[in-house]
Amino acid sequence: MAGRFAPRPTRTTVRGGHVAVSAGIPRQAAAPGRVRTWVPQGPLDLGLVLGPLRRGPGDPTFRAMPDGSVWRASLTPAGPGTLRVSARGAEVRGEAWGPGSEWLLERLPELLGAADDPSVFVPRHRVVAMARHRRPGLRLTRTGLVMESLIPSVLEQKVTTDEAYRAWRLLVRKYGEPAPGPAPGRMCVMPDARTWALIPSWEWHRAGVDNKRASTILRAVRVAARMEEAVRMPPAEAQARLEVVPGIGPWTSAEVVQRSHGAADAVTVGDLHLPGIVGFALAGDRDADDSVMLELLEPYAGQRHRAARLILLSGRVPGRRAPRMPRGDIGRL
């Protein structure tokens, strides 16, 4: 989770992006896959780097194991693939299976933050400096994949964390395919664009996805190739490309490029909780709105997303003073 503090985590604080990964006895794979080893420059925390890619504890495409490894199932341009990442000392080992294995291993360093340069970040507030000191292994991941972040981000629009994660879990398990290789049980690769487009309306309903979010996803998958092309654009241009699709706004596009591009400056606006958290941490203002948040983050121009993540990881959040947003389940209607 984003930090160890009393209030129940929201989707925003979870986006601080920490997944507990413990060291232990290496897991023995049932069948060998392609292997690549890589030595990062400086400290690397797998849980922090890959944590933002997990969509809830039951995400079928992501698994953090007791032996310290992290598993991901991805739909790559070369086909489905499963990647297992583990760290032993200063070395990172990646092992991959399936048609997309070579693609996944080729981009392993970028996935683990090799394209990120945290040294350019200069803390301007004590809370940010302390969070950075405590989390030296934080790097910004770059997946090189747009749709795998876009679809779950659309599912997270204006609903509770539990609702969004449940919808992602149900739809991927029902319409995805089993992850290649010796992946942990029930791991799946998300459906391709055509499969998403063919999901019947009643199945969206059963998964708790309203027509507005389902329609946005259907519009996006019809132009999936154009969406994926955005990964070769600068983050700001990529966001503009994504926002051409009705239903995709600045909140969703920022959530995508943070993961697909490793965009260090793509701060999330339009969020229910983030402005208040940033305002409280930096100025004691729990009622801050987007404009106040952006003003407070101005000293971090070019690195505002990193600053926001460090604030989320600091655990300095205002206490809850209003009832939690009620959970709905349109699937029961």
Q: What are phi and psi of 149, to 5 degrees?
A: -100, -30
Average pLDDT, the chain: 91
Kindly report which listed range (94-108, 171-185, 307-321) carries the lowest average pLDDT score: 307-321
Kindly report which listed range (23-27, 43-47, 270-274) carries the lowest average pLDDT score: 23-27
What confidence score (pLDDT) does residue 331 get? 64
What confidence score (pLDDT) does residue 283 get? 97
Kindly report which listed range (28-37, 40-49, 190-199, 248-257) carries the lowest average pLDDT score: 28-37
pLDDT digits (tens, 9 = 90+) for 52-80: 999 999 999 999 999 999 999 999 999 99
Model confidence at 194: pLDDT above 70: yes
The predicted model gives 10-33 an average pLDDT of 58
Q: Which letter, b or e, does each residue of 288-311 get, where b requires 16 or more Cβ atoms within 10 Å of its Cβ?
A: bebebbbebbeebeebbbbbbbbb
CB 209 within 8 Å of CB 167:
yes
Q: What is the four-CA torsion angle of 299, 305, 6, 52, rounded to 10 degrees?
A: -170
Sorted by sequence, the CB contacts under 8 Å of residue 118 that are 6+ apart come out as 42, 138, 139, 140, 306
Model confidence at 332: pLDDT above 90: no
CB 31 within 8 Å of CB 97:
yes
pLDDT digits (tens, 9 = 90+) for 227-256: 999 999 999 999 999 999 999 999 999 999
The distance from CA 219 to its chain's CA centroid, rounded to whole angstroms, is 22
Distance, in Å, from the CA atom of 199 to the CA atom of 220, rounded to the nearest integer, reads 14
Q: What pTM was computed for the model? A: 0.88
What confidence score (pLDDT) does residue 6 get? 40
Model confidence at 154: pLDDT above 60: yes
The predicted model gives 304-333 an average pLDDT of 79
% pLDDT > 70, the chain: 87
